[in-house]
Amino acid sequence: MTVDQWLRILDGLFPPALAESWDNVGLQVGDRSWEAGRVLVALDPTGGVIGEAVEAGCGLLVTHHPLLFRPLERLDLNEATGRAVADAAAGRLAVVACHTNADAARPGVTDALAEALDLRVTGVLRPSAEEERVKLVTFVPTDATSKVLDTLALAGAGVIGEYTHCSFRVGGIGTFLPSERANPVIGERGSLTEVEEDRLEMVLPATRLEAAVQALRAAHPYEEVAYDVYPLVARDGLGPGRVTEANGDLTAADLADRCAERLGGAVRTAGTLDRPTGRVALCGGAGAFLIPDALAAEADVFVTGDVKHHQALDAAAAGLTVIDAGHHSTEWPFVGALARVLSNAVPGAEVSVSGTSTDPFTG
């Protein structure tokens, strides 16, 4: 695996078009041609995490928070960001961020939080415009189908939720008659040829189509590759935050205890705690900006992090109980979920979760 191949998979999981305009996602440091057989997944690209990745011989570090978030005026190696960039480059470690694009994608950051808290996702808290998706259909001789499928998957096709390599195939007979100027792999010039072929279908973001077609042409055995592209209507909504339902009888106090037990870290609450939690709004990380959306969704409780004093007062006054379980704690479940997805996407690849703590609050 190269860095570029991993980037194609990540772009399929978390399309860059879903990122907020102020964000900086994707490749932060490194070269797309570098080999990356080992991958480390973390929440933050701190100097300690980068040192851990280099020492472990990783070629790729995938984080939620970007290493380069604001434009750099200088690359000062006496500053933390400069040192981190230099250490990564010296260790041939590529650093990639999946930030607000991972917040909006499904499944994403908050879906992992919902799973950790045993809450069932029923919708998106603030739906955003979905990136256009297409279906790529090609026709492949049966003995080459697996190779073409794997190649398209590495190009970012076939990602549906937690699954990669998603495709559909049906067998049939393909026919063609090569001209005298053709150079057929199968059959002879001037003779009608019949070949057992698979019709192979995979979905992908429209922004990945050009790269996928290039990969298809390179992997397909035929001199002339037949393929069709179909635009798709929007599927399930995307966007930050989730609306969920609790399983069984659960009060806000019970949910706060569950956050403390399963997420770790300090938990703060504002509002009524003895109320039932039929509908729970969630947002991993700093989600207080979604309080109006939680109220509009008629949520009983909102679980997020980094809630400010007046935001909590206003939410409680409006009848919304707020559970602030911390920025780090509400995003941490995503790290393990992402590592599992990447491991499944490339069987045999060494993908691990960072053991370096980046939670700045210790008490």
Q: How many residues would you count in the chain?
A: 363
Rounded to whole angstroms, the Cα distance separating 213 from 179 reads 24
Phi-psi region of 57 (alpha: psi -120 to 50; beta: other; left: phi over 0): left
Mean pLDDT throughout 342-354? 92
In the chain, DSSP assigns E strands to: 26-29, 38-42, 60-63, 94-97, 119-124, 133-141, 168-176, 193-205, 227-231, 242-246, 268-270, 279-286, 301-305, 321-324, 350-353
**Which pair of structure tokens corresponds to residue 304?**
């997020």
In CATH terms, 133-231 corresponds, of 3.40.50.800, 3.30.70.120, 3.40.50.300, 2.60.120.860, to 3.30.70.120
Average pLDDT of the chain is 93
CATH 3.40.1390.30 placement within the chain: 3-99+331-353, 109-128+239-325
What's the pTM value of the predicted model, to 2 decimals?
Answer: 0.77
pLDDT digits 0-9 by tens, 244-284:
999 778 999 999 999 999 999 899 999 999 988 889 999 99
Cα torsion angle, 70, 207, 238, 107, sign:
negative
**Domain 109-128+239-325 grouped into CATH 3.40.1390.30:** yes
User: Does residue 292 have a pLDDT over 70?
Assistant: yes
Radius of gyration of the chain (CA): 24
Cα torsion angle, 55, 60, 62, 67, sign:
positive
CATH 3.30.70.120 placement within the chain: 133-231
Annotate 310-351 with three-state secondary structure.
HHHHHHHHCCCEEEECCHHHHHHHHHHHHHHHHHHHCCCCEE
The architecture CATH gives domain 3-99+331-353: 3-Layer(aba) Sandwich (3.40)
User: Does residue 73 have a pLDDT over 90?
Assistant: no
pLDDT band at 235 (very low <50, low <70, confident <90, very high): low
